[in-house]
Amino acid sequence: MKMINKITLFILLLCLIILSLFWIRSTKHNHPSKVFLLNVNERPNTIDLLFDYASLFEFQNESVSRYLKGIRNNFHIEAIIITIPSLKDSLSSINELAATIASNWQIGKSYNNRGLLLLFVDDIKEVRLEVSYELEDVFTDLFCGYVEDKQLRPNFLNGSLENGLIAVMEELEYRAQLKYTQDYNSKFIATLDSKFQTGGAGAVRRLSKYKHEQRAKDSATFFTKGAETPAKAWEIMLSKWRGEGKHKDTDIYTEATKLAMGNQNSKIIESGVDLKDKAFKVYQSGNYAVISFGLKEGWNNSPFLFVKTDAPEGWKFDIVHQRKYVVMSTAPYWSVERADHPYVELVSYAWMNMGKDIPLESVDRYHPEEDVLIAQRIVSLEIIYKEDPNNFEVAMELGRLGTILCRRSNHVYPYLKQAKKLKPQSPLPYKYTAIFTVESQFQYKTALEEMKVFIQRTPESRFGRNFLGYLHFQLGQYGDAISEFNKALKMQKLDSQFLLYAYCKLSRCNGMLFNNSSKVTLKRKKYREEAIEFYNKAYRLSKNNFRVQLLGSWLLQNKIISN
């Protein structure tokens, strides 16, 4: 009898344990019989922030975990992601399950009860963002519903749900900053929320219903939409400059533009009155457009650059490229840089300048499609830097991103200077100091000294050799320039971009030596032959490239080649 009681007691205890556990079976990743055990009553451990039972982050575990730790460490908010294959073995809805887990796991308890749970159910494509009471004033239902729709819907449609989950956390980061810095009030949050589509309220989204929905119907936006056309964007921008467009819903500044300006409400020029009734033409190619007043002297006749954004969709002023490539010389002269930027063909009518023709790598170029993420990252890093200015990675990244956006000097140089101090042997601060001094102020001598340090530490950098050669060229040191470009050509696997750049600059160097040499010297013939040889190599590589075409015109003008 005692034995039976013991057995009965054991069975009862076993049943209680089973009832307290949520069993999920997964058929993903060639493990049809594998059972995933999710304990809804007790958190498995207090170290992990990612519990990926559906294996959505199999190859991103390290980066996602690091990102969640960043939110916790930087903003004192504990954010957890849980993915599960299915709800079929649970008696709970996703809402009930998320609430139970958040409560029983005590998410955020160690951080003044500030916790976030993002629960994703794979097979039915449902997601739930559970927010602790302490965060509800900032992470509203309207906001939660918005970020899920905006980030998870397109990623679901594109078959990259794991990226969508990461993107949601990136959207949450901005409000985490607000909560941490206390830089908000209820009116401000309400203003932010008013930008969302009112019909999209609620924190739960069944993503599968969007499978056949047209993308054009997605009108929920966080950042205000741009203008419908480049001409309309220009009209709205002028009205804002004249103080007449303060209450217009259309936002014609990209997020990076606002950062680059230093003040969202600052004016690019003193008044828009002089431009109000000026006749203009629109030159457009794809997502890029130029407002042109023709080839006329006067700063107010220089072109304005606009880009069509997709988050949210609409035309906006592109001050980053404007600052980098529309050059205001001594009044009334202006010109446009002939460099690798997306407007180069659209401004072919304008006066030419090649003072910023830097052989930038793709990672160091401004890509408008990354505009919002860059702006958000800068804001996040600036908060971290304020608390910990001795973090090299943060200082370096702020300096790099500031260089890419061509921000004001006080938002670039201090970070690069601090990065040099924190890690004296790193070549990176010298690289970006050199780029920025040229793009912001045409300081070739200063840039040359910075690049010499960079190239000493990274002698095999193709970018470094080409850029060093360009700086020598701009300073009239053609022999040194040729030496550096030739070193670049000798490097293995020189891609076509850098190869073409070196060919064109070598042709120009030899062309300049040809022009500057005496007509009776034997070297003059060699200079001409070298100029023509490298031009022919560039022409064979990419005859339709703008740089090759400009070089051909220059050689013809200087009688180095003939028709």
Out of 192-196, 412-416, 523-527, pick the least confident. 192-196
CATH number where 161 lies: 3.10.310.50
Residue 196, in any domain of the structure: yes
User: Coil, strand, or helix at residue 365?
Assistant: coil
Residues 414 and 544 in one domain: yes
Taking each continuous run of H as one helix and of E as one strand, the counts in the chain are 20, 14
Provide the sign of the torsion angle of the four alpha carbons 131, 136, 140, 141, taken in this order.
positive
Provide the sign of the torsion angle of the four alpha carbons 440, 446, 451, 457, taken in this order.
negative
Residue 296, in any domain of the structure: yes
Task: In whole angstroms, give the CA distance from residue 526 to residue 522.
Answer: 7
Out of 108-122, 425-439, 524-538, pick the least confident. 108-122
Q: Which of 207, 238, 268 is the last residue of a domain?
A: 207
Residues 295 and 388 in one domain: no
Provide the sign of the torsion angle of the four alpha carbons 150, 308, 306, 321, taken in this order.
positive
Tokens of 155: 């990623």
Residues 553 and 438 in one domain: yes
Task: State the pairing for strand pair 204-206/281-285.
Answer: unpaired
CB neighbour list of residue 32: distance below 8 Å, 6 or more residues apart = none
What pLDDT, in 10s, does the model give residues 261-281? 654 444 444 444 467 778 999
CB neighbour list of residue 415: distance below 8 Å, 6 or more residues apart = 385, 395, 396, 398, 399, 402
Q: Judge whether 149 and 200 are in contact, CB under 8 Å.
A: yes
What pLDDT, in 10s, does the model give residues 47-96? 999 999 988 776 567 667 877 888 888 889 999 999 898 887 666 788 88
Residue 437, in any domain of the structure: yes
Task: In whole angstroms, give the CA distance from residue 204 to residue 146.
Answer: 10
What pLDDT, in 10s, does the model give residues 347-403? 999 998 899 999 998 889 998 888 887 888 898 899 889 989 999 999 999 999 999
Residue 366, in any domain of the structure: no
Name residue 537's amino acid: K
Out of 16-30, 176-190, 277-291, pick the least confident. 16-30
Task: In whole angstroms, give the CA distance from residue 558 to residue 535.
Answer: 14
Residues 201 and 54 in one domain: yes
Q: Judge whether 290 and 306 are in contact, CB under 8 Å.
A: yes
CATH number where 544 lies: 1.25.40.10
Provide the sign of the torsion angle of the four alpha carbons 314, 315, 319, 320, taken in this order.
positive
Residue 170: what pLDDT?
62
Q: Judge whether 353 and 338 are in contact, CB under 8 Å.
A: yes
Question: Helix 523-542 to helix 496-516 angle, to the nearest 10 degrees?
Answer: 150
Round the average pLDDT of the chain to a whole number and report it: 81
**Number of domains observed in the structure of the chain:** 3
Strand partners, 335: 327
Task: In whole angstroms, give the CA distance from residue 195 to residue 218.
Answer: 14
What pLDDT, in 10s, does the model give residues 130-168? 999 899 888 888 788 777 666 666 665 566 665 566 557
Q: Which of 331, 357, 383 is the last residue of a domain?
A: 357
Over residues 482-510, the mean pLDDT reads 90
Task: In whole angstroms, give the CA distance from residue 107 to residue 247.
Answer: 41
Task: In whole angstroms, give the CA distance from residue 92 to residue 105.
Answer: 17
CB neighbour list of residue 336: distance below 8 Å, 6 or more residues apart = 302, 303, 325, 326, 327, 343, 347, 350, 351, 352, 353
Residues 313 and 387 in one domain: no
DSSP string, 282-317: EEEETTEEEEE--S-SSGGGS-EEEEEEETTEEEEE
For residue 197, what pLDDT band results from cuts at 50, 70 and 90?
very low
Distances from the Cα of 388 to the Cα of 19, 66, 73, 394, 492, angstroms: 47, 18, 12, 9, 40
Q: Judge whether 469 and 488 are in contact, CB under 8 Å.
A: yes
Residues 312 and 175 in one domain: no
Provide the edge-to-edge strand list for the sheet that holds 334-337: 326-328, 334-337, 352-353
Over residues 233-239, the mean pLDDT reads 87
Residues 398 and 293 in one domain: no
Task: In whole angstroms, give the CA distance from residue 356 to residue 358.
Answer: 5
CB atoms closer than 10 angstroms to residue 438: 24
What pLDDT, in 10s, does the model give residues 439-477? 988 889 999 999 999 999 999 899 999 999 999 999 999
Residue 380, in any domain of the structure: yes
Residue 277: what pLDDT?
76
Residue 281, in any domain of the structure: yes
Residues 66 and 198 in one domain: yes
For residue 40, give its domain range: 2-207
Identify the residue whose tokens are 């909560």: 179
CB neighbour list of residue 562: distance below 8 Å, 6 or more residues apart = 556
Confidence check: pLDDT of 339 > 50? yes
Task: In whole angstroms, give the CA distance from residue 238 to residue 235.
Answer: 5
Task: In whole angstroms, give the CA distance from residue 101 to residue 97.
Answer: 6
Residues 352 and 383 in one domain: no
Out of 361-370, 481-490, 518-527, pick the least confident. 518-527
The dihedral region occupied by 222, where left means phi > 0, alpha psi between -120 and 50, and beta the remainder, is alpha
Residue 217, in any domain of the structure: no
Residues 175 and 266 in one domain: no
Q: What are the E-state strand segments in 219-344?
A: 281-285, 288-292, 304-310, 313-317, 326-328, 334-337
Q: Which of 357, 386, 411 is the last residue of a domain?
A: 357
Residues 352 and 323 in one domain: yes
Torsion of CA 156, 160, 313, 118, to 10 degrees: 70
Task: In whole angstroms, give the CA distance from residue 20 to residue 422.
Answer: 52
Residue 483, in any domain of the structure: yes
Residues 43 and 151 in one domain: yes
